[in-house]
Chains A and B, each alone.
Chain A
């Protein structure tokens, strides 16, 4: 093409460009029409659809979680309350550099590794415009520190809510239980519509048993929100109904005295009003603080509780099953009298051991030298084993079973806390069906002194003792005294329930047994005379010592030589005052040794606390 001169044809070029320009204009117009069609589709054809979506965006149905009911003791002392609680939340969308923000936050607020990992897990799961909690339960100082620095942290906010708090800490924790975060297991059981917006649920104890009452009814509000969920205004509102308050039968003063009386011992004590079944003290030792459980106890602290040899998490009052030991003797004595096997004046010679006719095995008395000739009164007072070996042998296991079951042994006492165990009252039938074994005569003998297969829970023992005190009424133990609906002044009492009234053959038989129990405490040779000496009121009681492991025939029990874990359990049952019983107590001290020396003083402290004498 070199060298050729192109003459520009201006006329042609002008026409060309003009034509092309008009073509482009037409093409632009076509594109614009496509857009207009699209807009007509969006704004006219689908208008209703998008209006609905826009309303759905704008208006949110928000659950209003009810306030959980409070729990008081019988005197109105607060045991479980709802405290304002502040939590720190981060809206990821509004944070430019999450790492830097967390780092800077750490300088003013403590963030543990567990907080961080939970936060990161939630962060990955939630949409970016939704706030993710980083820390719960900020204290006032942390709230103040953050507020001062707030301008440095866009997208970070503090929100207030209510959290369960147990102001008395570990007091009566095994009765109260605690609430915890709703987990997937709980979600399946709960009514999901009523629990919309609720984060916590009763995990055990009263908090669990009375969950329905305590929780209340969820409210709803229609709100207009921003995309970030910030509420602009409330359009419609159905307020929530708070949960009912509960008044327990527990007397914090008695409870505290009882827990302290155990000192470092493990065990359980139940104090009950024999007139109505009110549980005055519900002790399982050791205790623990329920507060850390509310928002998820951290792993180490939980492991420490779990691996603790003394098993603080174990609810001994409800689920501890112990051999009743000699505390069963008053019931055995009554059984003997009422069935006519023995009488007030029939005597047995105690040489320090008992032998079945034609057998070599010696069943030893706790007193190696023997008690000599004893009647029922002295057998109970001094806790002679041989007398009851003989009585049991004469009665036979099935008659023992049939009589003692009226006192509630072998089946759950029915307290209004979930998880109670039934203990075990053996019989031939039981052994055949459960163990597929025949009953041996020797097993009857040791049942007579509350050993062998025989197992009771502290609650059962207390209920049975109360029945001795009130003349044969088997009361349903109850821990809730009254409930109170939200915003109501009226208390709705829980009425006492008599489960069974024992038939009394002869009043004299009962009087005799109770007289013997009085001698246990106040008699010159009573096994619990140490607590009777200075008592301003009369007590009827019975000591017990339950073997944790069996001694061979000729072995001698030496407490010091035996590992603490294998030492005998010390038991004591009692009621007082004698002429108008107001309190019945069952105390079990694990590996405590002697019933008279260890368990009885605890029972005395409990009774003193309740009957008005200030504890020393």
Chain B
């Protein structure tokens, strides 16, 4: 077939154990490095609580296992399962809206008696898979009718999740779908048109936002307006990061973190702990790891052998990129507080399992490629 254009060709002799185990070594090494850095920061953020670190280790263990299991699934199988996964996800979301469990003011959980389960997590993967599945069978770039169909596939789960309300996840899911459409060759003028549309709809979105969400936007614009209320988080995290300087105050020595000035410091605001204790260079190290992960994901996308896997791999990689940029943007005070954790570093959450399952997909795509004749 059209053999030619994968950037480099694989040779049977190069294939070793990593292919048999379906592991992408560069990705795995980088992920382990980020996890290790994360545990070090978490130990400090928890005030030296080793139990916290142990619980996180267990969670990481589950997540890595999940990644390796997903990596064993051939992409063909994933592709075949995609519509079922998506439909199941939508049904779960419906169930959540009807009878889900509330926690912290939002209805996100579904109690399946065996496990408490957040269907929105599932949709983080199901949505890009579905859009990729749909577009893979069409001729690219998609025409308007196909775009409309893709838009519906994205908008329905997104709105359902936004209603829970879980704005951060909804935006993340929307962007993962949009990345697929963009990779599929969304025309520039249509992109421009949609951007204008979104900008025009901003007042409407404002109207539908809950009070606390509006408050967060207002806080971003002027955190000092309410220094002890909603602006407190941002002010304290800026102080933590700013006072860290180039080299940081040293591990376990961050006064903002250790003396409890920094709220949510082991979860959503853990980036500020890193910034305070390890400084600008510590952040650079983390960003370097993140960048390697994203670049590796894009490389896998480019090397993939069919449209579905290309679109999906590109979307997974870019969604991860958005994920950490949104969190760090919020902690440094350039984006509103949307309640997304710092991927791989923040304590807790089922999101890490989804995240690693996504990397499992990347590994599957990379290691199930057919040998191409030289």
Contact = CB atoms under 8 A, between A and B. Distances in A.
Contact of A17 (B291, B294, B311): B311
Interface in A35-56: 35-36, 38-40, 42-44, 46-47, 49-51, 53-54
B314 interface: yes
Nearest to A130: B228
Interface in B295-344: 295, 298, 301-302, 307, 310-311, 314, 318, 321-322, 325, 328-329, 332-334
Interface in A9-54: 9-18, 20-22, 24-25, 28-29, 31-32, 34-36, 38-40, 42-44, 46-47, 49-51, 53-54
Please tell me the size bucket of the interface on A: 35 or more
Contacts of A43: 241-242, 244-246, 275, 279-280
A32 B295 contact: no
Contact of B238 (A14, A29, A50, A225): A50
A28 to B, nearest CB: 4
Given A24-B179, A28-B294, A58-B255, A39 B307 contact: no
B242 A49 contact: yes
A418 interface: no
Contacts of B374: none
Nearest to B295: A25
A601 B260 CA distance: 70
B283 interface: yes
Nearest to A18: B302
Contacts of B280: 39-40, 43-44
A128 interface: yes
**Chain B binding site: helix, strand, loop or mixed by DSSP?**
helix
B114 interface: no
B329 A35 contact: yes
B325 A8 contact: no
Please tell me the size bucket of the interface on B: 35 or more
B246 A21 contact: no
A17 B239 contact: no
B134 interface: no
A38 B243 contact: no
B328 A21 contact: no
Contacts of B371: none
Contacts of B228: 127-129
A224 interface: yes
Nearest to B235: A53
B325 A32 contact: yes
B81 interface: no
B242 A16 contact: no
Interface stretch (A226-234, A438-446, A571-579): A226-234
Given A15-B5, A42-B332, A31 B314 contact: no
B181 to A, nearest CB: 10
B8 to A, nearest CB: 13
Interface in B47-87: none
A6 interface: yes
Given A35-B325, A50-B243, A57 B139 contact: no
Interface in B98-142: 138-141
A496 B287 CA distance: 83
Interface in B1-25: 1-2, 4-5
B251 interface: no
Which of A7, A21, A49, A226 has the largest number of chain B CB atoms within 10 A? A21
Nearest to A224: B259
B365 interface: no
B5 A14 contact: yes
Interface stretch (B30-38, B149-157, B182-190, B346-354): B182-190
B266 interface: no
Given A11-B2, A21-B298, A57-B255, A42 B238 contact: yes
Contacts of B275: 39, 42-43
A552 to B, nearest CB: 74
Which of A22, A29, A128, A227 has the largest number of chain B CB atoms within 10 A? A227
A49 B245 CA distance: 11
B260 to A, nearest CB: 4
A11 B244 CA distance: 50
A47 B276 CA distance: 11
Q: Which 6 A-B pairs have the closest CB atoms?
A: A50-B242, A54-B243, A6-B139, A227-B260, A127-B228, A42-B242
15 contacts: A9-B139, A10-B1, A15-B5, A17-B184, A31-B325, A39-B275, A39-B332, A42-B242, A47-B246, A53-B242, A54-B255, A57-B236, A57-B239, A57-B259, A58-B261
